Amino acid sequence: MIAIKHLTHRYDGRDEDAVNDVSLSIAKGERVVILGASGSGKSTLLKCINRLVEPQSGSIEINSEDILKAKKQMSERIRGKIGMIFQNFNLLERETVLANVLNGRLRFNSALRAVFGMFSKQDYHEAEEQLKRVGLEGLSHERVSNLSGGQKQRVAIARALCQKPDVILGDEPVSSLDPKLMKEIMDLITSICIEENITVITCLHFLDFAKKYASRIVGINKGSIVFDGKPGDLTEKDIVEIYGKTRDWYIYGRTGY
């Protein structure tokens, strides 16, 4: 479903590639966790997939469409099917929960309607349904800034689900939360993605978490893939290879969470 070939990106002014010749084929419904030390290129890889970063070379196909070559309109359409969940939630804090979740419906509306926030009955219905699903029923008119971290991340999940996504990308979706909430939110994302057969690619820091929620782990070190396999196949040697004997290895890889 997602075919990444020889993807390479180096940021301006840097002397090393952030992503270095990454090739990866991901089937529909896989739950891929990307592991790697800080600065290894996890976020850059995700940003290339949703085109927040234009990679310098390589290709990314989603459902056989080359998204890097796609014209603007088509690229918007493909992007519309990619839900994003970020560590810092990326919500409109001053807006209501409902307004944020409705943003997930933009791709179902014309640009003009979207600008004026003219959503259809169906859009409202979908937003309320997804809010119910993530456990936020009754909070639609609350301002996002009044919510807790866990609730905010639930809003972001509902927004992503409203897009009817083929893929959900999560850039450390639980890193701002305490351990109990981390588990709750990962359980929620995972159960919904399994139920709806949504492909999910998340960067996570904690090894134990990765093992628990991934159907496949991809380890990267300095922009290159150094492990690709099932969580059960990950050995101590692989773990050192992924993190290096860094502070990250000590914190996340060695002791778990």
Ligand X SMILES: Nc1ncnc2c1ncn2[C@@H]1O[C@H](COP(=O)(O)OP(=O)(O)OP(=O)(O)O)[C@@H](O)[C@H]1O
Q: Which residues bind ligand X (CB under 6 A)?
A: 11, 14, 18, 36, 38-44
Query: By C-alpha distance, which of 202, 215, 216, 212 is closest to 173?
Result: 202
By a kind-dependent CB cut-off of 5 to 8 A, residue 63 interacts, out of Mg ion, ligand X, none, with none
- Identify the three-state secondary structure at position 117: coil
Q: How far is the CB of 115 from ligand X (least distance, A)?
A: 29
150 binds, among Mg ion, ligand X, none (CB under 5 to 8 A by kind): none
Q: Which residue is it, tokens 């905010």?
A: 152
> Least Å distance between CB 86 and ligand X?
11
The CB-of-117 to ligand X minimum distance in angstroms stands at 31
Quick one: what does residue 40 bind among Mg ion, ligand X, none, with the CB cut-off 5 to 8 Å set by partner type?
A: ligand X
For Mg ion, the closer CB: 101 or 203:
203
Nearer to ligand X, 14 or 237 (CB): 14
Give the residue with the Cβ less far from ligand X, 40 or 50: 40
With CB cut-offs between 5 and 8 Å by kind, which of Mg ion, ligand X, none does residue 79 bind?
none
Q: With respect to ligand X, which residue has the nearer C-beta, 42 or 152?
A: 42
Nearest position to Mg ion, beta carbon: 43
Span interacting with Mg ion, options 42-50, 124-132, 133-141, 149-157, rule CB under 5 A: 42-50
Contact call for residues 114 and 191 (beta carbons, < 8 A): no
Nearer to ligand X, 44 or 130 (CB): 44
β-pairing, 216-221 vs 224-229, is antiparallel
**Maximum Cα interatomic distance, the chain, rounded to a whole number of Å:** 55
Does residue 44 bind Mg ion (CB under 5 A)?
A: no
Torsion angle, CA of 236/45/24/235, rounded to 10 degrees?
0
The CA–CA distances, whole Å, from 51 to 44, 47, 70, 146 equal: 10, 6, 11, 31
Residue 226 to residue 177: CA distance in whole angstroms: 28
Alpha helices in the chain (DSSP H): 42-49, 72-80, 97-102, 111-115, 121-133, 149-162, 179-196, 207-213, 236-243, 247-248
Interacting residue with Mg ion among 20, 43, 100, 153 (CB under 5 A): 43
Q: Which residues bind Mg ion (CB under 5 A)?
A: 43
